[in-house]
Amino acid sequence: TERLLQKSEKLALLGQMAAGIAHEIRNPLTSIKGFVQLFKSGPPKEEYIDIVLSELERINSIVGEFLVLAKPTAVVFAEKDVRALIRDVVTLINTQSILNNVQIFTEFNSDLPMVSCEENQLKQVFLNLLKNAIEAMPRGGNIDIKVKSKEEDKIIIQISDQGIGIPKDRISTLGEPFYTTKEKGTGLGLMTCYKIIESHYGELRIHSKENEGTTIEVILPTITQPLLKRELVY
Ligand code: ADP
Ligand code: MG
| Centroid of ligand 2 to alpha carbon of 185 (angstroms) | 7
pLDDT per residue as tens digits for the range 145-187: 999 998 878 999 999 999 999 999 999 889 887 788 988 677 7
- Indicate whether this model's pTM tops 0.90: no
Ligand 1 pocket member 132 (CB < 6 A) = yes
Question: Helix, strand, coil: what percent of the chain each, to 5?
Answer: 50, 20, 30
| Centroid of ligand 2 to alpha carbon of 179 (angstroms) | 10
Measured in Å, how far apart are the chain's first and last C-alpha atoms?
19
Ligand 1 pocket member 182 (CB < 6 A) = yes
Euclidean distance between CA atoms 58 and 30, whole angstroms: 12
Check residue 35 and give its pLDDT.
Answer: 94
pLDDT per residue as tens digits for the range 44-62: 999 999 999 988 987 876 6
Angle between helices 189-199 and 119-135 (to 10 degrees): 150
Which of these, 207, 202, 186, lies nearest to 135 by C-alpha position?
A: 186
pLDDT tier at 30 (50, 70, 90 boundaries)? very high
Helical segments of 71-179, H only: 82-99, 119-135
220 phi/psi in degrees, rounded to 5: -125, 145
| Centroid of ligand 1 to alpha carbon of 180 (angstroms) | 6
59 Cβ contact list (under 8 Å, min separation 6): 25, 28, 29
ipTM, two decimals, is 0.99
Query: Which residue CA neighbors atom 3 of ligand 1 most closely?
Result: 185
Return the best residue to mutate from 24, 125, 132, 193 for the ligand 1 pocket (most ligand atoms within 8 A of CB). Answer: 132
